[in-house]
Amino acid sequence: MSARAGYPHFQPITTRWKDNDIYGHVNNVEYYSYFDTVINTFLIRQGGLDIHRGPNIGLCVESHCRFDAPLEFPETVNAGLRVVKLGNSSVRYEIGLFREDDDKPAAEGWFVHVFVDRETRRPAPLPETLRAALQKLSKESA
For position 107, which CATH number holds?
A: 3.10.129.10
Alpha-carbon distances of 79 from 8, 15, 89, 100, 135, rounded to whole Å: 11, 12, 24, 10, 18
The gap from C-alpha 128 to its chain's centroid, in whole angstroms, comes to: 20
Q: What's the pLDDT tens digit per position in 66-115?
A: 999 999 999 999 999 999 999 999 999 999 999 988 999 999 999 999 99
% residues pLDDT > 90 (the chain): 94
- pLDDT band at residue 132, thresholds of 50, 70 and 90? very high
Backbone angles phi, psi at 41, to 5 degrees: -65, -45
3 state SS for 16-48: CHHHECCCCCECHHHHHHHHHHHHHHHHHHCCC
Find the domain containing 63 and state its range. Answer: 4-141
Q: What is the number of structural domains in the chain?
A: 1
Q: What's the pLDDT tens digit per position in 55-74?
A: 999 999 999 999 999 999 99
Q: What angle do CA 73, 70, 60 make, to 5 degrees?
A: 90
Q: What's the pLDDT tens digit per position in 20-30?
A: 999 999 999 99
For residue 139, what pLDDT is reported? 73
The pTM assigned to this predicted structure is 0.94
Distance, in Å, from the CA atom of 113 to the CA atom of 39, rounded to the nearest integer, reads 10
For residue 2, what pLDDT is reported? 79
